[in-house]
Structure 1
Amino acid sequence: MAATKEVSEVPETDWQSNKTLQQSLEFMLLNQIGCDVQFEVGDQKEKIKAHKVVLASRSPVFFALFKQEEENNKLPQAVQKTERTGSVVSVKNIIETKVPRSDSQASIKSNMSNKSTSMSIGRGGGWIDMNDSSMFTKQPVPSPRDTIKTTEQPVLETVEKQEKIYEIADTDFNTFKLFLSYLYTDHAELEYSTATKLAPLAVTYKVNGLLTQTIKCLFDQVNANNACSAFEIAHLTRSADLKMKCMYIITNTAREAIRSRDFMKLCPDCVSRITESTDLNASEDEIYEALIEWGEHECMRNKKEINPTNIRNVMGNIFYNIRFPAMNDVYYKREVEPKPFLTTEEKELIAKFKSGSAKKDMLPFKVHPRVNVAFHAVMRCQLDQKLQEHTGKPDALCFDVSEQVWLHGIAVFGAYFEQTNHVHLEVRDESHNVISIYQGQIDTVPNDEVYEVVLHAPILLQPDQIYTLLLTLVGPNKHFYKGIGGKNLVEFKDMKICFYDSNFSKNGTSIEGGQIPALLLST
């Protein structure tokens, strides 16, 4: 945190000499000169004073607060001896500001201190006591001599006037001092840690200049280690650019981000926005575990017992961001199905979907894996240095899998020359129904032999069903690389993948070689 200036010794006279207006105001703040408003800050209720005129000129929230206080404190024309009671004034009652929850967001209220000041009212010094009935009866006019002789002092009455102390919660004393310093000087020495604390204050009190500076600081310094905390601030301040940058970092470092302490502190809106993303680079197993842990923290924040029912309740619709049908089948049966987070009906629907007897529209959960989930190229043949002339007819290959697995696409051999090639890929099921089509282009160069063709959406392959891949690859030059030494059986993790020749293959691809050297798979 940036160091704050020390209070200097106040000279008795001429401290204003050679100071600018800004320097003089800052000097008065640091040395607590002529202050007319007091704050208690943080859990320790540390006190600091300031000047209403400065705060009101810099923040519309302070302006409205002090204006309301002034109106509430107006005395009636006939001044009476009264006893005033304290009242609680909240900024939220003055200006309705809808902002997301943040543990660092400041709130303000006012309490009445036990200290009191007396206001003298009497017949001396120009004061008039409106309660004195003698003021309204005819009195003899004293002579100058009588006036000089009198030693009687005016009769004094008092109106108890209590001093308001505004309590600033949910921020610390040093941060509030930095905030006040900015209001007096228009300057803030920002680091990442101070910017995250000052930004909520800037939002609460509508100090747009400070908000702009804090957002710029966060944007410049956000990285994989602090992206979640910066995302919360971006959400709070509605900073689209900062939110976009944070989201990009979080999606690409999701495995680390969703396990971080900052993720566990996020508000529900931020957690929902992150976990609904299709681009999260993490497995569904990891996302599930991170959300359950976040739910435990949310239970503690809401002072609820940590149990499956309460965890699901505090998660609300966030729970449906978990893509249970896309989970690894072994993990789901071992870690998820035995636990009571899912209802019996939800478990039955997931089981039916995995068996192929329920359509995805029947489930409350998304069924496709995240786009950024890492897939593996499972090779079935190796590169042949000899070229093969493409006829423009389809290459085809059949295969089956021993366990459920996601098919993300295939690998293809490219052309020998630098050129743009048109790609048409079909995936057909055992009944020869087309279940996925890809149409696009790949740009090939002579030194790169293998290219990935990624489907628009992954396909969940069922065991013991034969699938057919039909590939048509067309370019200006027909000479393409090809594969040799093909295998009819390869292993991927704990499953087996068997390949078969297809009657649809018209360009030389078979078990032994040709095109389609690899499948792109994930579990």
Structure 2
Amino acid sequence: MAAKDSEAKSGFADNWQRGKSLKECLRYSLQQNSHCDVTFQVGKDRKSIPAHRLILTLRSGVFEAMLTGPLAEQENIALPDIESDIFEQFLIFLYTDDVILDSKNAIGLLYLSKTYDVTPLEQKCLAYLESSISSHNACVVMEQAHFYDEHDLKVKAVKYICENGNTILKSPGFSDLCHSCVLEITETDELVASEEKVFEAVNAWSEAECRRQGREITPGNKRSALGKALMNVRYCLLGQQYFVDIVSPNNLLTESEDITILKNFVSPDKSVLPFKKEPRCRTGKTITAKLLENFIENMYTPYSGDYTTVFCVNQTCALQGFNITDGSSGFSAFVCDEDTGVAVGETSDGKRTGRLVEFPDPVRIVKDKKYSLVVKCHGEHHFHLSKLSDIAEDGDFACRFLYNTPSVYHVVSSLVFHV
């Protein structure tokens, strides 16, 4: 009763401020629209979001210019190109310095922090994006870093895209990139991807760009949209059948360019300018990790068989292929994550040069993770009983072979990595 009398005498019947910190009071005043003196009409639905001029002008010089002085905007300010929920999170940061970043809001909050020159939030957004680049957002992060000239963030995004080329090139985000970013990705030697995936990606991008420009999707318009990016595909590294069945019918190349590529298939020494024909990732190093050491016995069987090699490496790299023993006939091969059992790469016979079998797409191998290469031989084949290596080293690179026993037979003699 005494407390109620005290409140009545003081004139504060609803003292919501009692016991709250400054941050809590500011958050409450924003969420309860207490004493607000400016309203933003946000998003396509023009949602009304009240705020306080004083807080906004204290946190942002851009808001200070907007909200004070003779040219100040009035009480209702339209922001139609901003999502209302992102703007509300932005205001909470201005009032409290609190923000919870995730994959759904980081890009939008980065845009607002740049637009209104709120450096503390900008730094938080950049740090979050640098630490959370994935196959789902790598292209978006690269595009934003390019737009805002954030060099370090762009370098990290491009590195991730190059290391995961086959996955990124077929992602929807690639088709949303600007022409400059498409050029940068497709021309680099560091891109770990098959040329088939590169061609399919630039073809899909050209169609998306025609739609963005409101132009009919024709070979001529697609070629015009691509510009130099069309020349970044290394057509001589495509399979001949793929070129004849898929590339040529698209009519992106002229008849003369088609003939140049076809001639190179027959005579590889012929020039293909202005196209490149050097393999990508040529700035790295190819390492052969030998599994079989001392030959003990060569065996033959008319039956099918499965052979497993479990390994891990001390550097993230690409598994380009493997060498097989003499006489091994038809087979299929799978590379699986040993912990999850999920296949991360596969081939059926693959591209064979002597004993070397190459995967259609280089398989990304992550440092210190365990992988199993399973080779399934179909019908008659030879296999070896040999002394097995525990580790194969080349400079700083090391590949460890796990669970090897002398009684295990193998058709794989070595693994071929690009580091």
1:23 deviates by 3.0
User: Which one has a larger percent helix, Structure 1 or Structure 2?
Assistant: 2
Deviations along 1:185-234, one digit per CA (max 9) or x if unpaired, are: 11112222222321222222221111111222223333344333333343
> Structure 2 counterpart of 1:364, which letter?
P
Give the C-alpha shift of residue 60 in structure 1.
Answer: 2.7
Report the equivalent of 1:326. Answer: 237
Q: Which runs of 5+ in 2 are unaligned?
A: 1-11, 282-316, 328-350, 358-387, 396-412
Question: Contact 1:38–1:165 (CA<8 Å) still a contact in 2?
Answer: yes
Once the two structures are superposed, what CA deviation does each residue of 1:445-487 show, in whole Å capped at 9, x if it has no partner? Answer: x94798999xxxxxxxxxxxxxxxxxxxxxxxxxxxxxxxxxx
Q: Which residue of 2 aligns with 1:56?
A: 57
Whichever of the two has the greater Rg, that structure is: 1
Deviation, structure 1 residue 353 = 4.1
Deviation at 1:357, TM superposition (A): 8.6
Cα offset for 1:173?
0.9
From the superposition, tell whether residues 408 and 182 of structure 1 become closer, same or farther in structure 2 (CA, over 3 Å).
farther
**Partner residue, 1:76:** none
Residue of structure 2 in register with 1:22 after alignment: 23
1:341 aligns with 2:340: no
**In structure 2, what is the equivalent of residue 227 of structure 1?**
138
Residue 191 of structure 1: SS of its match in structure 2?
A: coil
Compared with structure 1, are the counterparts of its residues 269 and 65 closer, same or farther at alpha carbon in structure 2 (3 Å cutoff)?
farther
Alignment partners' CA distance in 2, 1:408 and 1:62: 69
RMSD: 3.8
Q: Which shows bigger deviation, 198-207 or 21-30?
A: 21-30
- For 1:25 and 1:331, the matched residues in 2 are separated by 63
- CA distance in 2 between partners of 1:304 and 1:347 (Å): 25
Question: Matched residue pairs, number?
Answer: 302
Deviation for aligned residue 1:12: 7.0
Give the partner amino acid of 1:37.
Answer: V
**Equivalence for 1:148:** none
Q: In the aligned structure 1, how far is the partner of 2:275 from the partner of 2:13?
A: 73
Q: SS state of the match for residue 192, structure 1?
A: coil
Report the counterpart of residue 84 of structure 2 in structure 1. Answer: 173
Judged with a 3 Å threshold, the aligned counterparts in structure 2 of structure 1 residues 324 and 166 are, in CA distance, closer, same or farther, namely farther
Q: Match of 2:299?
A: none
In 1, Cα distance between the equivalents of 2:354 and 2:49? 62
Q: Structure 1, unaligned stretches of length 5 or more? A: 1-10, 74-109, 111-162, 383-404, 412-445, 454-516
User: What does residue 466 of structure 1 align with?
Assistant: none
- Secondary structure of 2:39's counterpart equals strand
Preserved contact between residue 407 and residue 520 of structure 1 (Cα < 8 Å)? no
The separation in 2 between residues aligned to 1:201 and 1:218, in whole angstroms, is 15
* Residue 301 (str. 1) matches residue 227 (str. 2): no
The CA deviation string for residues 222-266 of structure 1, in whole angstroms up to 9 with x for no partner, is 334433333334334444444343333322322222111222333
The 5 Å alignment of 1:485-496 reads: none
Equivalent residue number for residue 32 of structure 1: 33
Q: 1:43 to 1:316 in 2, by over 3 A?
A: farther
Q: Give the alignment's TM-score, normalised by structure 1.
A: 0.50
Work out which of the residue numbers 276, 279, 285 in structure 2 matches 1:366: 276
Aligned runs of 1:42-53 on 2, under 5 Å? Answer: 42-53=43-54
Quote the sequence identity (%): 31
- Which of 214, 222, 232 matches 1:311? 222
Q: For the structure 1 residues 312 and 54, does the alpha-carbon distance in structure 2 shift closer, same or farther, using more than 3 Å as the test?
A: farther
Summarize the alignment of residues 293-442 of structure 1 with structure 2, pairs less than 5 Å apart. 293-356=204-267, 360=271, 363-371=273-281, 375-377=320-322
* Whole-angstrom distance in 2 between the partners of 1:408 and 1:237: 50
Determine the C-alpha separation between the residues in 1 that align with 2:250 and 2:236: 16
Give the equivalent residue in structure 2 for 1:133. none
Cα distance change, pair 17–197 in 1 and its aligned pair in 2 (3 A)? same
Query: Structure 2 CA distance, aligned partners of 1:409 and 1:39?
Result: 69
TM-score for both structures, normalised by structure 2: 0.61
String of CA shifts for 1:104-155, please: whole Å, max 9, x gaps: xxxxxx8xxxxxxxxxxxxxxxxxxxxxxxxxxxxxxxxxxxxxxxxxxxxx
Residues 288, 322 of structure 1: 8 Å contact kept: yes
Q: Distance in 2 between matches of 1:311 and 1:166?
A: 41
CA 1:309–1:56 in structure 2 vs 1: closer, same or farther (change >3 Å)?
farther
CA contact (8 A) 2:90 2:112 kept: yes
Mark the CA change 1:409 to 1:368 in structure 2 (over 3 Å): closer, same or farther. farther
Q: In the alignment, which residue of structure 2 is the partner of 1:183?
A: 94
Q: Match of 1:49, SS?
A: strand
SS in 1 for 2:278: coil
How many angstroms does 1:331 deviate by?
1.0
1:174–1:449 CA distance, 2 compared to 1 (3 A): closer
- 1:72 and 1:197 mapped to 2: Cα distance? 27
